[in-house]
Structures are given as structure tokens and as C-alpha cells.
Structure 1
Amino acid sequence: MVEPPGGRVQRRSGVALSPELRASILAAPSKPGIYRMYGPEARLLYVGKAKHLAHRLKSYLEASRSGIKTQKLMEQVVRIDFTVTPTEADALLLESNIIKHDRPRYNIVMRDDKSYPYIRIDDSLGFPRLAFHRGRRTTSGKFYGPYPDASAVRQTLLDLQKLFRLRNCSAGFFRNRTRPCLQHQIGRCSAPCVGRISEADYRRDFEDALRVLDGRGRSLIDHLYARMNEFVSALEFERAAALRDLVARLQQSQEQEAIVAEEGDCDIWAIGNRQDLFVVGLTRIRDGRHLGTWTWFPSGDAPMDGPSVLSAFVSQFYEEAIPPKVLVDRSFPDLAVLQTVLEKRSGHPVRLIEPRGHTEKLWLEMTEQNVKLAMDRRLASHALLRERFDALQNRLGWPDPVGRIVCFDVSHTQGVETVASAVVFEPEGPVKSAYRRFNLKLEQGGDDYAGLDQALKRYFSRILRESAPRPDLLLIDGGIGQLRVAEKQLEELGMADLPVLAIAKGPERKVGEERIFLAGGRHELRWNPLDPAFHLLQQIRDEAHRFAITGHRRRRGRAQLQSFLEEVPGLGPKRRGLLIATLGGLQGLIAATENDMARIPGISHTLAHRIYLHLHTHEHNETP
């Protein structure tokens, strides 16, 4: 497919989602959680939360009725991932963490933690207090939170104050009291400011309050009941009743969840398998923040079991930046050996253990839930793809199944930096290890036929030379002209028996109106746009186009950057190459400071200053 000038494909007003993206949306679970939308090259475009993922994501099926921002977003989305959470509050906090960590383009990025309140321990005096805090955590003291809303924090503080009679006054007010305040008179403060309670007794009450904030599960309830019995034995029935009510209220109001816990870094691993399919899941906690769950589908020819797959995957995954705590969902024989390996790689102690506390077990439960969800989606997509391959076999009237399809596409901008792609699909899905790109050198820029001919010759010559697997079907993104080029090239290579299909875009590039041609005949095949076989050709064609246009843009960007840097006096080819290799593409260069450039061998401060001025003067002049 040829990319129009400016690098943008012309689109109609509505947004046509690919069959795969539509199927992914329809497979969304009816649970709270967050969803991540990815563009080309796995770039995170947007993260959102939902109380009901299925309902929220189905609204994107009608993106054409939404605002221009949603339409622009959906035009770029190629994949959607989900992470389910226990509650909507968990989803909201996880969404915030991911936005701050990854800064997706279509999200509004908050600059600090103003959205969520905390409880702060103020221990500046001998009698500490629990205080409401909102904003950056730059002040001294320990923090609990963030909480989903301010009312939950204030209600928790009020409950703890009523129960344990803790002070809530400022340090200045506390120092200047000569008699108890109204809070003491109504039974909400033990009046430590005027010596009505000893520091030791106050500390005991305060520690009990902290246990309420720290505690989880049965141990918390047991402790509260023990305190309740103490109050009953002392005939303090009102305080016992208040404690009983507190237990019930805390279950509702205190929603500090597994999304944010104690400070620190931790990874949580889980594995699931079904029908010879293994799914490995990883949840990452950084600085106490839950950053989401990722899943992979390891494969191998040898017989595998869950523990061995998990052990092998974890050992291969970590190269550096290993957290001090790594949790796994099950024990396996070489757990201690793997821990030793991780410690040697990281240079610091690593605890490789099974989850123990309530929070760790909740993290694991969330990871396992997302592993199961990923497995269900993968199996559903495999079944859908198998159904499409079977439908294509029936449509073509072949006695044998279609096992391997290779599709070609050509991409360029006004004939410059032409790139061809070859993608391979089998009934189990895309075979990305067999994908190929071809940087084409053409005598006449923009000659799609010559570009396709060159790519086909290079691809199939290699297959013949290396005795690599032959496809069962060749698919070309193009019309009758491209079909004739493919037939001619295959005949020259002695592969005229290879079936060839061409899929051409319909009027105004409308999805569903494509035209299909079969080699050996010049007539158009009339297939129902709702036919699964038709959807398969669309799916493979779209993937070939994505792979080609991504390679073209990358090649064009490198060429433009090289040309741009050639204008800098004193910057030769060797230094240009080193600069690009160290800092990346144009965006990396623009983001770099003069000091960043001067650290590169061969780049002096004078030359770094010259490069910096050239980059940013050009950037300013290009800004409309």
C-alpha cells in the first residue's frame, strides 16, 4: 500500500475497527478494571478505568458518534489489553499509577498526587496524631494511602478518634492548652495536652489505631475482638460497642487496597495452562504502586509443566533492575538456585518466595485472575482464527486445509524510502519469527510493480535456497496488476503451482468493499463481507500493511535524521552514527541536553553546543 504525502492515510469520517480489535472488545470481561490501548510498535496511547469493562469498551464500537479525540484515538489503536481489579476504586488508583509512570499520549497526566488523599502520622511531639494529607508527600512522617476519596479518609479518622480518643489538634494548639478542649468533653480526646493521660498509655492507644490501619483479614478482627473483651471486662460497654461498630464501618469506608501498599518494589509471577497453552503473568509494584499486569505465552517443543516453565521464564526475563522481592504462585525444586542467580545478577539480596501476608496474596490473586483472562482471550482468538482458515479452505474449494499464508505489501511516500513486507500466518496465529522486511532500491521511485517483483524474488529465492517451508497461499495487497507481477515472478522461479490471491481496496478505501482476484483468472471473486474467509484476508492484509508502513517510517526517519545531522559542521559520519546509536532517533536527540551529548566519546562540549543549537533552532523554525 502506498502512503500518501504527509505520511497519513486518508480516512472516511467513521472509524472502521479491524475484526481482531472488535473481537477483543467483545471479549472484555464484565468486571471492574483498567484497559490499555496500544498503537503501532506497542506504544501505549491511552489507559482508562471502568466499573464494567465490557460496557465501557463496547462504547468504542461506536467511536464515529463520539468526539474527534476518540475518533483520532481509535484510528491508531491496534491492540487492547485488560487488567481486572477487585473494585472500581482499585481500578481508579491503578489507572492513576500507570498514567504517571507511562504518560500515555491521550491521557491527561497529573503532575502530583493531588487527586488522592492520605493519612499522615505527625510525630513531631511526644503524643503523635493522625492527620488528613493531600498533595506531594514531601513532609516528614509515615503515610497511609492513597485512598479513593476524601470522605473515606475523614470517616476513618473520625472513627479512630472516637475509639482511641486521639488528639487531632495542631502542634501550636497543643502546646498552648491549659485546660481540656471541647473534644475531650465530648469523649473524642484523652487530653494529653494537659496531662490527663500518660505518654505510655497514649502511645498504646495510638499503636492500636495503627494496627487498625495496618491490619488485614482475620488477624485484625481477632485483635479488635480482644480489645472489645477488655472493654467489656472493664465495664466500658460504650467503648466496646463503638469498637464493634468500627469493625463494620471499616469494611465499607477503608478501601485502601492492593493497588498501593507499603513503599518498595516487588514483582509477582503466576502461571496457568490449558490445552497445552501456557500463560505467564507478571504484576509489577514500584515504590509501592501497582503498575499493572503483563502476560506472555511461552512455547517449546519439549514436554513442559507449570513449575519448569515458570522457572525458565523468570530466569530468562531478568537481566537487570531486579526488585528485592519476587513472589511466585508456587514453589518448585530449583527455587533456591534461581534466587541465587537473581542475586548474582542484581548485586543485592533477592527474596524469591511465595506470598504470605494478605496484601501479597491479594496481589497474587489479581495476577492469577488476569492470567486466566488472557488465557481465555487467547483460546478464543485461536478458535476464531481456526474457523477463518477452515472457511477459506471451503471458499477456495480445496480438499486439504490451508496451513500457511504469506502476504506482501509495499509502502513508500512519494516514491522515497520504499519498503516491502512479508508476513506469515498459520491457523495458530501470526508467525512473527518468519516476518521479513525488504529495503528496496528502485530505478524509478514509486514503481510499486518493480518493488513487489524485487521483494518476491528475494523472498522466494531464499526459500528455495534454504529449503524453508513453502506457503500454501500467497496473498498480495493490490489489484490485477500486482497479481500479474506475482504470477510472472513465481513462474520464473519455478513455483507457478503456488496459488495466489490479490486483495484490492474498494471505492474510497471503504472496509468491507475490497475486491478479491485469484491467479489464473481475471474475474473478481464475489465474497460476502461478513464471510469469515473474507475477514481472514482483511486481517492478514492489515498486518502486512502495518509491518510495511512501520518499516518505511523508520527508514524514512533515519534518512531524514542523517540528512539533518549532515548540516552540522564538524559532525562526520562516524560521530553521527555514534550519536544516533547512543541517543536514538530525532526525539531522543531533541530531549537530550548538551551535557548528555558531550558524554559521548568524540563529542566535545563545543560540538555538543553546536548540535544542540542546530536541533532546537530547526525545531523552532518548523513550529507553525
Structure 2
Amino acid sequence: MVNPSAKQDPEALLAAKLASLPTTPGCYLFIDKAGAVVYVGKAKSLRSRVRSYFQESGSDARYFIPILRKIVADLETVVTATEKEAAVLENELVKQHKPRFNVKLRDDKDFLCLKLDTQKAWPMLETVRRPAPDKARYFGPYHSATSARRTLHLVNKHFQLRTCSDTEMASRRRPCLQYQIKRCLAPCVMDVDRELYTEMVRSVALFLEGRHDELTGELTTRMRDASRELEFERAAIYRDQLRAVEAVREAQRVVYVKDVDQDVVGIYREGTLVEVEVILVRRGRVTDTLSFSLRNMELPDDEVLGGFLNEYYGVASTTIPDEVLVPVLPDGAEGVAEWLGDRRGRKVALFVPQRGPRVDLLKMANENAAHAFREKQRSSDDLEARLEEIRERLRLPTLPRRIECCDISHLGGGDTVGSIVALLDGQPDKKRYRSFNVKSVADGDDYAAMYEVLSRRFRRGKAARQASPASTADSEAAPGAEGAPESDVMEGVTESDMMESDPAESDALESDATEGDLADEDIGSATASDAPPETEGTPVSAAAERESAGSGGDVSRRAEAGGGEWDLPDLFVVDGGRGQLQVALSAARDLGLHGLPIVGLAKERETQTGEKLVDRVYLPGQKNGIPLRSTSSALFFLARARDEAHRFANHARKRLGKARRLRSEIEDIPGLGSAVRTALLRELGSMEGVRRATDAQILGVTGVTKRHLSALRKVIPSPESSQPDAPAEDTGDLSKARGLTR
């Protein structure tokens, strides 16, 4: 987009465009003074719709109109032949420009969906984030990862589809544990009836579509047929599936007796905060409810709802019903309904109910939206109260919105790993988790390991503070300015949190984290070759960990380049009592961070007989710990940070041990990249084959050069070097000829 012409008055230019608008369907784009698209909309008549935004009459009381008139400097229109084309084009323009005022249901990731690829020989149900046009069946999207995985677990428990990947299935030689507990038919190695497996796949599809009445009838028929044929094991499978379906149906509420599928969309708003509730009704039963929170929605309800429908039903996995009930029709409703019908393959009705049971359904959806809005607001208010309790109990200067916790884990003194986890407003912020491979302390010395980990973490926090714009502005007057000794760094706590890349889903908080949740491994002062092969993360965070103890200038430059990724939290918690707290305080004070709030959290015996364990918080300069009740809000957040740090440290330690056990000798040879190492092992068979290989054989490996050969020979000598008397004429091996000339 180009900026409005500087030669012509922007208001006059805008007025001229408004006067020349056509009466045909199409899309319009509002552009601000910087040339960015701030809103995309569609209209049945561009002239009447767009001009309504700029009418001066006092009858238009929509609160977004004054804001719109202030920021919009230009507009563009795209004429379409039909309202359906306008709806399709609007969806594409929103994806292209990402306007600030349009509805966005996602941040940087998609919702989880369930994928059932019926084109495979043995289909399986799996979770995906981005549906692909691969002719597979998708179900969802699910508004939370927990809901999606709960459904997946229920299906795997009762319908016995395979759960292993295609690679695992091809390499199996015997059934896995899922077959032993009768949760899989083991098509990987067993002779499975393909007709039975196909029936299972169809049952799963009906179950996920919410067609429980149809599924119940089919399962009942199959169970009776299997009983007549004396196949009682198969009949038992159908019986268990019937019980699972009945259990789900009992939790469903019958709201409308009619053989149609419906989505009922309710809306509630307070100012720019909007809550949208979608009730899924299948064959007259409520099968699920979805809640979506929208912020900064300056537009009226009809446009918010229109944008929501485009976003929600634009996902490939969304099941489109027979009817969509809405509280207010969006502009171009006929085109939206036609677009939905094309996506579904059958006609879809989009309307506002006026009488009958549909009105009650819509009323229930609006009430649920208002209830969800109030619950989320109440959760926010409750969070403030909890944080205030922590601030008062621990005598903190500010609310501890950002909390970090450190824990050390090792196995018999080896594979020592330190972890630092982060909480943001009481919720785990997994993108900012850090793990540190401890290298420079004696085995089993928890105090020394904690000192090393915290020194490395605090050193980066200090460098980030010095590199921040606030500290730069005060550098001439405040201690800790550039050139000042480390002990003179200025005190205080920033409000920025750590940064960490999280390869796992980061949508809603999961109760059970998997190995994918492990963040980047901090390899400290070790060399690149010391890092485990499974280390993940961005090059920036890996490089930020490789400085030596005296490389403060490099740390400062990296911290400045990385922004606030290492800024210190509002509260730092160490897992332990007075001893661990003194270590943390020493690590901070040695770097001049005297104002960082640090506490220790330990679970200790309340009586001499050890009948009861209580959590105590230890504060600096205070001998006795503060006991916290199990119902205390302060304990809730601190214990969550402590438990998460413990889990994360153990997870990192297991990965480090696995990497050490599976590590190959060739990975310790400097000068050989991963591609060259892989090529050598693949073409020469093993490490023993590399040792026996001649120079000519090694140079014959794809991608290996003389430079790689030289690096390899510095560690593994040529096999011909042990036979100096062998004549060079017997072979053209370069290494033998070189041996004779020595």
C-alpha cells in the first residue's frame, strides 16, 4: 500500500473516494497514515456500507467511529461479482494484511485438531496444528490442547486404532504394550481383519462428529451379529465401545429434538473486550462448547461476528453444520452462507432465530458467553489478590508478576544439570525455561553447581540491565555504568522476563509436559563439541551461553543484541533451605546485584518424629523460615514454581544422560560437521570401519575433503602407520607414500 498523496489534502482525497464508491458487492480496506491496512471488511453494497463509517449525523453512536476517523487516511475497494466472492476475498485479505482491528483467533500458532487419514492402509488418529489439503479427515479445532488430548485418549482407549507412527510400525517385530492391554489390534505384526479395522475407523469418525445416535445403532447391530456368529471377543469390543458412547451421551444435554446439526454463536462484550461462545449441537444434543476471548475489538457486533465466522470456519478442520444461529447477521450474510455451503458441500443456513426452540438455544449461548467473560475477569482479579498476598508475606517491593525458580538435578553425582523456570502471572512461561549443563564442579556438590548456574544466569541479567535503554540514560549518574566494576552495578528489579524457545505447543497450560517441552540447553563455558547432540534452541541463545568467566563484555553485547531476554525477575526462588539461599545470595552479591529479591522454599518436618511435612519460606537475614499453610495462595505459586523447576531439571538430566550414553567418538573430533560425520558412519558402517579405513577410502566418502581427512587423522591415525615396511608400490594409498617419506 502507498501512502496518501502528499500533494492533495488527505481529507479531500478520502471524500472524493467516498463519493465515487459503487453500489456493487466487494471488499474495502481502511489504511492509516503510515500506509498500513488497519481493517478489512466486506459489503453487499460498498457505497452504503463504507459511507456509513463517515457520516456526520449524530444518530451513529457506535463508539469506534471517532477512533476510525482519526486513524484512517485512505481507503481502497475491490469490486466482486457476488457476495460469496466478497466473503472469500475478505478472508484472503485478512490473512495477507493481518489488520489490527480484524478478529484474530490465534497468536503465533493454530488450535489443535485431530487428523484421521483414511487413505493409509491402517489409519490412525493423531493431533496436528496445521491441517493440510491431503484429503485426510480433520476434526476440531479444539479450543484447548487438554480437550483435544482428552478426546484422543478416549478414542485410543475404546476403539483400538494404532498409535505408533508409520516409521515405528514398519520397524516393529513384536506387538507393543498397547496390544497387551487391549488398546490396539497390532496391525504392525498381527494378522488383523481389515474389515474389522475399517469398522473401527468409521466408528471413530462418527464419534468425533458427534453422531452418537447413529453410532449406537451401528455398534448394537455389530455386537448382535458377532454374538450370533459366536465371535464373543469381537462382541465384547463392541460392548465396551457402546458403554463409552453411552457415558458421553449421559453428559450431554438434550436441548432440541430435531435431526439437524447446529452451531449456536453467542456474544457478550464490555467495551473493546468481547467473548464469543459457540455451542455445538448435534442431533439435538449439546456435544461441546467453545469459548473465545477477543480484545481490542473497536468494531460493532455485526462486523466482529462476521470476522469471527470467517476465522472460525476458515480452518480446514472445522465441521460446518446444517445451521448457524447468530444473534445478529453480518453484512453480506447471504454470501457468507453461500461460502459456508461451498466449503461443506451442502446448503448451510445462517440466520437469527425469531421464535421457537432456536431462540432458547441462542439465549443460552449469550448467557454462556457472559458467564465465561465474568469468570475470566474474576480469575484476573483473583490473581491480583494472590500476588498481593505473596508481596505482603515476603515483604517484596513490587508485585511478583515474574517469578523464576532454580533447581539442581544429578544422578549419583554425574550428569549434573541446573534448571531455571519462569512463571508469568502465576502461569508457567515455558518459552523462557533454561537448562544449564554444569561442567566445572565436583560430582555431587549441589552448592557449587547452584552457584555456577546462578552466576551464569545473574551475569546475563546484569548485562541485560546495563544494555537496557533505562540504564543507558542513567549511566553517567548511576553505579554499574559501562566501565564500572561489576560490584557497583545499580540495584533494582526490572520487569522483563527471560526468553526461551519452546518447540512444544504453547497454547493452554498442560498438566503433563512431554519431552518436547524441554527448552534450549545452556552449555555454559563448554565448547561446541561438548554440547549433547540433542541440544535444541536458537543460535542466539546457544551463543549467549558460550562465554568464559571473564567475558563480561561479550555478554553485554549479546544481551544488548537480544533485547530483554535475560532481564531479571520480580522474585527469584531457590529450591532449598538456608544453605541454598546463602549460595544464591552470594552469587547475586558477587555480581553486585544486591537488590534482587531472593527466597528459599524448603519442605521440612514440622515435628521431631517427622509426622508432618510443611513448606517454609526462608528470607535473607532471617533465621527461622515462614511456614505456609497448604491452602495459602502464596504457597500455591511458589510450590508451582518449585515443582516445575524440579520436573524440568530431571527432564534435562535424563536427556543429558541419554545423549552421553548414545554419543559416538566421532562427535568429539573437531573440524567434522554433522553432515560429514553422518556420511562417514553411513558409508563406512561404524566407528570401527572409520578406524580401519585408508585415506583413499575416507576421501571417497561423499562430502569428505582433505581438510576433513586432516582433522580426522589428528585423532585417529592411519592404519598403514603401523606398517612402515610395506612398499608404497603395492597400493596407491596416499597415506603409505607419506609414511615412507617421513
Higher helix residue share: 1
- The question of a shared fold, defined as TM-score above 0.5 by the shorter chain, is answered with no
Range of TM-score over shorter length? 0.3 to 0.5
Q: What is the TM-score when the length of structure 1 is the normalising length?
A: 0.42
Q: What is the TM-score when the length of structure 2 is the normalising length?
A: 0.36
